[in-house]
């Protein structure tokens, strides 16, 4: 397995109470596959991605990258190997080009000249000339794509995508689905893809995990899940009837 999440739990203190955001979540992500992470709003999807990227602590349980506990890895090295595209992109001060080159300037100092930010903009169907623009002047969907371009420039082994097409139209979404699918096939890129779009998950994913109230209530092959979930929660989710915050 490329990534294994083993019984990971996370709780926070809020208003003098302990709130459990993740409850013994386990999932296995296969090399070169797209693993869709589904679940209603507030079920813990973003929290889980942050935990895999060590933006959140692993309080209990383990996360393994190719059999190695990610806590043993240098955190910068980990974030180069596991790229995160956040739900709401956050940019460093500077131009789009500088944002794209930020990662490579840390990990690929010696051959930085070989990294062309324009290439990554073209890859996500944006104007290559936008390298000199301020990313904050772009639309939401354009910002999502710059954020993806910036992550791809690090040549990650694993990509954590948090609703990367939520602000895109159908055509741009379809292009991005094809782009990522091709990277999986050609470079064995491994992806965890959070989406609220069940049809999208059905198109792109080989494996599925359904989170509900911080628990992984169902996981397995996407084909089997979409043909007929095994759990009450799975059936309710596909029927559009699984709501609820923690």
Ligand X SMILES: Nc1ncnc2c1ncn2[C@@H]1O[C@H](COP(=O)(O)OP(=O)(O)OP(=O)(O)O)[C@@H](O)[C@H]1O
What residues make contact with Mg ion under the rule CB under 5 A?
A: 45-46, 87
Q: How far apart are CA 155 and CA 245, in angstroms?
A: 35
CB of 146 to ligand X, least distance (A): 20
* Token digits of residue 208: 């599925």
Closer to ligand X by CB, 39 or 164: give it.
39
Q: How far apart are CA 151 and CA 233, in angstroms?
A: 33
CB of 53 to ligand X, least distance (A): 13
Q: Which does 106 bind (CB under 5 to 8 A by kind): ligand X, Mg ion, none?
A: none
CB of 2 to ligand X, least distance (A): 22
Q: Which does 97 bind (CB under 5 to 8 A by kind): ligand X, Mg ion, none?
A: none
Closer to Mg ion by CB, 23 or 130: give it.
23
Closer to ligand X by CB, 88 or 119: give it.
88
Altogether, the residues listed in the chain come to a count of 246
CB of 45 to ligand X, least distance (A): 4
Q: Which does 181 bind (CB under 5 to 8 A by kind): Mg ion, ligand X, none?
A: none
> 208-222 b/e with 16+ CB inside 10 Å = b?
bbbbbbbbbbbbeeb
CB of 226 to ligand X, least distance (A): 20
* Token digits of residue 13: 């203190």
Residue number closest to Mg ion, CB atom: 46
Q: Quick one: how many helices (H) and strands (E) in the chain?
A: 9, 10
**Interacting residues toward ligand X by CB under 6 A:** 12, 14, 19, 21, 39, 41-47, 87, 245-246
Task: For the beta carbon of residue 89, count every other beta carbon within 10 angstroms.
Answer: 23
Element (H, E) at 52: helix 45-52
Q: Which does 7 bind (CB under 5 to 8 A by kind): Mg ion, ligand X, none?
A: none
- With a CB cutoff of 8 Å and minimum separation 6, the contacts of 213 are 23, 43, 44, 244, 246
CB of 237 to ligand X, least distance (A): 12
Closer to Mg ion by CB, 17 or 41: give it.
41
Closer to Mg ion by CB, 46 or 200: give it.
46
- With a CB cutoff of 8 Å and minimum separation 6, the contacts of 168 are 141, 144, 145, 176
Closer to Mg ion by CB, 49 or 121: give it.
49
Task: For the beta carbon of residue 142, count every other beta carbon within 10 angstroms.
Answer: 22
């Amino acid at each position: 397995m490329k990534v294994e999440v083993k019984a990971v739990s996370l709780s926070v203190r809020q208003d003098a109470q302990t709130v459990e955001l993740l409850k013994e979540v386990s999932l296995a992500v296969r090399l070169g596959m797209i693993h869709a992470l589904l679940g209603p709003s507030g079920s813990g999807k973003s929290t889980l991605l942050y935990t895999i990227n060590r933006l959140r602590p692993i309080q209990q349980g383990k996360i393994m990258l190719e059999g190695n506990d990610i806590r043993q890895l240098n955190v910068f090295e980990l974030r180069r190997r596991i790229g995160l595209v956040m739900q709401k992109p956050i940019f460093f001060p500077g131009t789009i080009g500088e944002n794209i080159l930020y990662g490579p300037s840390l990990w690929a100092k010696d051959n930085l000249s070989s990294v062309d930010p324009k290439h990554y903009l073209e890859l996500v169907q944006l104007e290559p000339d936008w390298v000199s623009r301020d990313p904050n002047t772009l639309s939401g969907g354009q910002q999502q794509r710059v954020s993806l371009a910036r992550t791809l420039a690090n040549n990650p082994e694993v990509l954590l995508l948090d609703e990367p097409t939520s602000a895109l139209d159908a055509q741009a979404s379809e292009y991005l689905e094809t782009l990522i699918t091709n990277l999986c096939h050609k470079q064995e890129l491994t992806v965890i893809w959070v989406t609220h779009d069940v049809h999208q998950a059905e198109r792109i994913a080989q494996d599925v995990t359904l989170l509900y109230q911080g628990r992984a209530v169902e996981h397995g092959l996407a084909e089997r899940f979409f043909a007929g979930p095994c759990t009450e929660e799975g059936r309710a989710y596909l029927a559009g009837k699984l709501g609820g915050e923690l």
